[in-house]
Chain A
Amino acid sequence: MASNILEVKNLYANVDDKEILKGLNLNVKKGEVHVIMGPNGAGKSTLGNVLMGNPNYEVKKGSVKFMDEDITGEDADKIAKLGMFMTFQNPIEVPGITLSNFIRSAYQAKTGGRIRIFEFKKKLKAAMEILNMDPEYADRDLNVGFSGGEKKKAEILQLLMLKPELAILDETDSGLDVDAVRIVSEGVNAFKKEVDGALIIITHSTRILESLDVDYTHILVNGKIVKSAGSELVAEVNENGFEAYIK
């Protein structure tokens, strides 16, 4: 049996001195797809941010192990280099660097080597085609003036190019129309197929899950996972909501 690439043990975390995660446990193996669902304010996004090393979140107790290294309290760039990636709900606009140059910088930071420009452009073009992105976006400043949907696609583009071991999709489908959700799902499927990457999908809707094979579903309520099951749990939540899990 494959070993865990991510092990979260009894994790407590605060933001602005407020306790959000209260003893969370989660194990992810290579290539697995985990869905985290839960009501607003349950701590879903906090989980993503803590795993990715956001310094605004403080780990009070417990540990996070990723790729056999203890990454509790580690800097985001170190965690990224180990192979974790998170898509942002609101990707930041950074004028002065193009999307293409940014991805290349990130790629080189991660691999520690240079990639030839021709080879890079070819890969980028192929990835943009999967996402049905206008190639012109490669030369536009990172996220500047992108619509909500374009920003989300640009996040998935980075996922496809950086090929992490584990990708956390934080509400990637929120605010997208049906077509955009389908395209984003195709991108995510391409990532799975190409690198057999693991996924943690944080969502409160289920549209993005329709075209993905989900291995596990977790219900997160009040900072803890209160129920874990297979993909059938998605359908159940769809039907009944979270009422049964909120005390």
Chain B
Amino acid sequence: MKEKTRVEDVDRSIYDIKNKDLDAYKFQSGLDQDVVLQLSYEKNDPKWMRSFRLRCLEMFNEMNMPQWGPAIDGLDMDNIVTYVRPKDNKMVADWDEVPDEIKSTFERLGIPQAEREALAGVGAQYDSELVYHNLKEEVKQQGVIYSDLESALHGEYADMIRDHFMKLVPPNDHKFAALHGAVWSGGSFVYVPPGVKVEIPLQSYFRLNAPGAGQFEHTLIIVDEGADLHFIEGCSAPKYNIANLHAGCVELFVGKNAKMRYSTIENWSKNMYNLNTKKARVEEGGSVEWISGSFGSHVSYLYPTSVLAGRGASSEFTGVTFSGGGQDLDTGCKAIHLAPDTTSFVNTRSISKDGGKNTFRSSIVVMPEAKNSKAAVSCESLMLDSISRSDTIPAMDIRTKDADIGHEAKIGKISDDAVFYLMSRGLSEEEAKALIVSGFADNVSKELPLEYAVEMNNLIRLEMIGSIG
């Protein structure tokens, strides 16, 4: 066993490093047709994409802000810069060629080292553009495609992308999906051919550096019949006094008998509006597993959705959300059972502290055709003080009698006995509580690769103690 892993040295200041004047090129804030056309021009979009963006902008203008979740009054689109291109931007496959200041940011976050040690491929996005993308040779040999989406739009897989892009998350899904369709930039395209098992994970890391900017990356993953992939997504940003916006979109197509695991450790700074949309469609016998750790942002709306389209398809959602002071995090998931013998499992933990607000929101829909389906939802909340808040809103819409549905919810406080037990062995009260909270969140940490589990526990320590010991 390793005595010390790289992430143990991470502290808040690493997430908070702000690089100055690095953006050689950025749009004026605000959003109109000219901005979208300019973006489309910058991106060298194919024609269909240009008109798609414009249609999305119209939808965005027509649709209302969501009225049901945390307040997003602080988000004024007129103040959001939709596109920031880093200086000297070109995407490279060699860290040495990444501009020094950007490279050092990613080095502090441990990305290049993680790639060498534990990953099959890495993409790194800085503000609106990817600065690095690389895939290990042996994985390339298997026929796996992992690239930025923009260049893929002009390559061999252009038609495949056109057939899938925002088909699962249509722009009229909600206002921020429409916004995403209009101004998306960056993100990744992954294709895993039939029967190919990618043994070690791929990772994309998203870093938003520019104040007042939005990040709108699109991740499109297609795992073909019988194939297997683990994809990890990480995100962080330094803290600014003005609102930043993240409205990314993730679309996963999981083929017949294919297997996809999508892991996220999200640590946006606490001025971020995280209005992200993630959805998977799973064909016959396939499975999707979502592992989700939400720690950052001021406001989050995040509900990864699994559409179980083929017989025997399954989904599993394992999540933890930690809300500290000033945070209002509305997270959960959805599962839609369209076919017989489908199963969905949901297991979430939420922690609130210092007046933080947590809402667990889930929706399970079982359609009449989905005979003999099974769904189980379990959510547990831990409140660390009396000024914090935790709500649970589990919706179930079951349209067949022939289904096995279960739900359990638990809300609790940290046990005094447990704190005393640990303190009696010499641990301080904060350390004892941090340890208990980490343990509470172990549904997620035990599903993550070691380095990420350690990073997650360090984030918990950071929230609990304010420093990394």
Contacts and interface: CB of A to CB of B under 8 A. Distances in A.
Note whether A and B form a binding pair. Answer: yes
Interface of A: 52-56, 75-77, 79-81, 85-86, 88, 91-92, 94-97, 102, 105-106, 109-110, 117, 141, 158, 162
Contacts of A55: 416, 420
B428 A117 contact: no
Contacts of A95: 439-440, 442
B422 interface: yes
B167 interface: no
A85 B416 contact: no
Interface in B424-469: 424-429, 431-432, 435-436, 438-442, 445, 457
Contacts of A96: 435, 438-442, 445, 457
- The winner among B422, B424, B435 for most chain A CB atoms within 10 A is B424
A86 to B, nearest CB: 6
Contact of B429 (A75, A80, A106): A75
Contacts of B424: 52-54, 76-77, 79-80, 85-86, 88
A97 B445 CA distance: 11
10 contacts: A55-B420, A56-B416, A80-B426, A92-B417, A94-B418, A96-B441, A106-B427, A109-B428, A109-B431, A141-B442
Nearest to B432: A77
A189 to B, nearest CB: 22
A52 B419 CA distance: 13
B425 A80 contact: yes
A106 B432 CA distance: 10
Secondary structure of the B contact surface, majority rule:
helix
Contacts of B429: 75, 77
A81 B442 contact: no
Interface of B: 3, 415-418, 420-429, 431-432, 435-436, 438-442, 445, 457
Nearest to B3: A117
Nearest to A121: B1
Contacts of A102: 425
Contacts of A79: 424
Nearest to A77: B423
Contacts of B421: 88, 91-92
Given A54-B420, A96-B445, A117-B3, A109 B426 contact: yes
B435 A94 contact: yes
Nearest to B430: A77
Contacts of B423: 53, 75-77, 80
Contact of A158 (B425, B439, B457): B425
Given A75-B429, A77-B428, A106-B427, A97 B420 contact: no
A162 B3 contact: no
Nearest to A80: B426
Contacts of A109: 425-428, 431
A80 B425 CA distance: 6
A77 B439 contact: no
CB-based closest 7 A-B pairs: A96-B439, A76-B423, A109-B426, A106-B425, A80-B426, A96-B442, A95-B439
Contacts of A77: 423-424, 426-429, 432
Nearest to A162: B425
B452 to A, nearest CB: 14
Contacts of B417: 92
A232 to B, nearest CB: 32
- The winner among B416, B425, B436 for most chain A CB atoms within 10 A is B425
B382 to A, nearest CB: 13
B3 to A, nearest CB: 5
Contacts of A105: 427, 431
A91 B420 CA distance: 11
Contacts of B418: 92, 94
Nearest to B439: A96
A18 to B, nearest CB: 17
A85 to B, nearest CB: 7
Nearest to B418: A92
Nearest to A106: B425
B147 to A, nearest CB: 37
Contacts of A117: 3
- The winner among A52, A55, A92, A96 for most chain B CB atoms within 10 A is A96
A53 B418 CA distance: 14
Contact of B438 (A56, A88, A97, A106): A97
A92 B418 CA distance: 6
Contacts of A94: 418, 422, 435-436, 439
- The winner among B422, B426, B428, B457 for most chain A CB atoms within 10 A is B426
B420 A76 contact: yes
A203 to B, nearest CB: 19
Contacts of B442: 95-96, 141
A56 B420 contact: yes
Contacts of B441: 96
Contacts of A106: 425-427
Contacts of B416: 55-56
Given A80-B423, A94-B436, 16 more contacts: A52-B424, A55-B420, A76-B423, A77-B427, A77-B432, A92-B421, A95-B440, A96-B435, A106-B426, A109-B425, A109-B426, A109-B431, A141-B439, A141-B442, A158-B425, A162-B425
